[in-house]
Amino acid sequence: MKIENFLKESFSILPTPFHKLENISRETGVNIYCKRDDLTGFAFGGNKTRKLDFLIADAISKKANTLIAVGAIQSNFCRMAAAAGKVSGLDVHLILGGKKPEKPTGNLLLSYLFGANIHFVESDDWNILEREGKLLAEKFKTQGKNVCWLPIGGSTPIGALGYVAAFIEILDDCKRLGITTNTIIHTSSSSGTQAGLIVGKKLTGWQGKIIGMGVAKTEKQLSKEVFELAHDTGKLLWESIPSGHVSIDKKDVILDNSYMGAAYGARTAACESAIKLFAEKEGIVLDNVYTGKAAAGLLDYAKRGLFSPNENVVFIHTGGNVEMFA
């Protein structure tokens, strides 16, 4: 089926802005353009609203009345899923990893504000959180509820369609500004953003590189997940291309975990200085878990001369800046 024919809500305010980072470009000697997916608008915005546009439309078409989403205690995805579910009339339950704090802050504070029921599980193991979520889903099903189950990051083939569409939007942005690009850099964690972008690349025949800066898993694990999800997302879109299928090549999956630090969420000096640079030079707020680490990679690549002279590089700001208030 063609992407235009999939059911879609309009939580995201699209297209998001796209502009050159003039000061950072001057400083690094590389033309850096920023796709502002931190400004998707809904529920404080971020990359997940694009996935939720498709995921919630699908849930509503299946007559779901209850939504379960899973994530870390400061999950950006769960914050946006809570709002998208509630405004669509669903009963929302979040399974969050961690101990209930005395005073909620950041994303957790917003998830309460958006009306979610929150279940704390004292673990940072995503498999355990997913298992707890599935148990709750089973319990609700026996009570006759129609459950929409959203895995970590909303990274399913339907969710990844959000980033197939975003890829096409970025090519339109470049056209509007009269530039071409061969490199797109973004943060990669639960695989949906990167898988969607890769499928967009295959559908349009664009020849550049999509570089995911890994922040959560081993490169081996995440490459496998991105590859499989891109393959499954491509299958959904089989009618869109003449050959009848989207063939994903292993070499389309480019991941670099060099900027993750010791673990998911661990602070790094390079991330902190990237956050400061974006704030002071561009008035743009990144975060310590996701976008600051990808920006650290972007800046390091520029410093090491890994981009061609006069190359236009696109950095996708995937949001996450609510973390500043956590």
Residues engaged in binding ligand PLP (CB under 6 A): 46-47, 76-77, 153, 155, 187-194, 290-291, 318-320
132 vs 159 by CB, closer to ligand PLP = 159
Please give the residue whose beta carbon sits closest to ligand PLP in the complex. 320
CB of 321 to ligand PLP, least distance (A): 8
Q: What angle do CA 303, 309, 314 make, to 5 degrees?
A: 75
Q: What distance in Å separates the CA atoms of residue 8 and residue 297, rounded to the nearest whole number?
A: 33
Nearer to ligand PLP, 97 or 140 (CB): 97
CB-based burial of residue 314 (10 Å sphere; 0-12 exposed, 13-18 middle, 19+ buried)? buried
| Least distance (Å) between residue 308 CB and ligand PLP | 26
Nearer to ligand PLP, 140 or 289 (CB): 289
We find the least distance from the C-beta atom of residue 322 to ligand PLP, in angstroms, to be 9
> Which CB atom, from 200 or from 320, has the smaller least distance to ligand PLP?
320
Cβ of residue 13: shortest distance to ligand PLP, in angstroms? 17
How far is residue 144's CA from residue 272's CA, in Å, rounded to a whole number? 48
Pairing of strands 31-36, 18-20: antiparallel
The span from the CA of 6 to the CA of 1, in Å, is 8
Nearer to ligand PLP, 187 or 312 (CB): 187
DSSP H stretches of helix in the chain:
22-28, 48-61, 76-87, 106-113, 126-142, 157-177, 192-204, 219-236, 269-282, 291-303
CA nearest to 212, candidates 318, 78, 76, 323: 318
Alpha carbon dihedral 100, 106, 109, 110, in 10-degree steps, equals -140
- Of the pair 140, 211, the CB lying nearest ligand PLP is at 211
Pairing of strands 31-36, 66-72: unpaired
State in angstroms the smallest separation of the CB of 91 from ligand PLP: 23
For strands 31-36 and 312-317, give the pairing. parallel
Q: Give the integer Cα–Cα distance in Å for 139 and 148.
A: 13
First to last CA, the chain: 41
Name the residue nearer to ligand PLP (CB basis): 140 or 170. Answer: 170
Nearest-approach distance from CB 29 to ligand PLP, in angstroms: 26
146 vs 218, which CB is nearer to ligand PLP? 218
Write down the least CB distance from residue 48 to ligand PLP, Å: 6
Nearest-CA neighbor of 37 among 266, 268, 290, 261? 290
Q: How far apart are CA 137 and CA 143, in angstroms?
A: 10
Q: How far is the CB of 324 from ligand PLP (least distance, A)?
A: 12
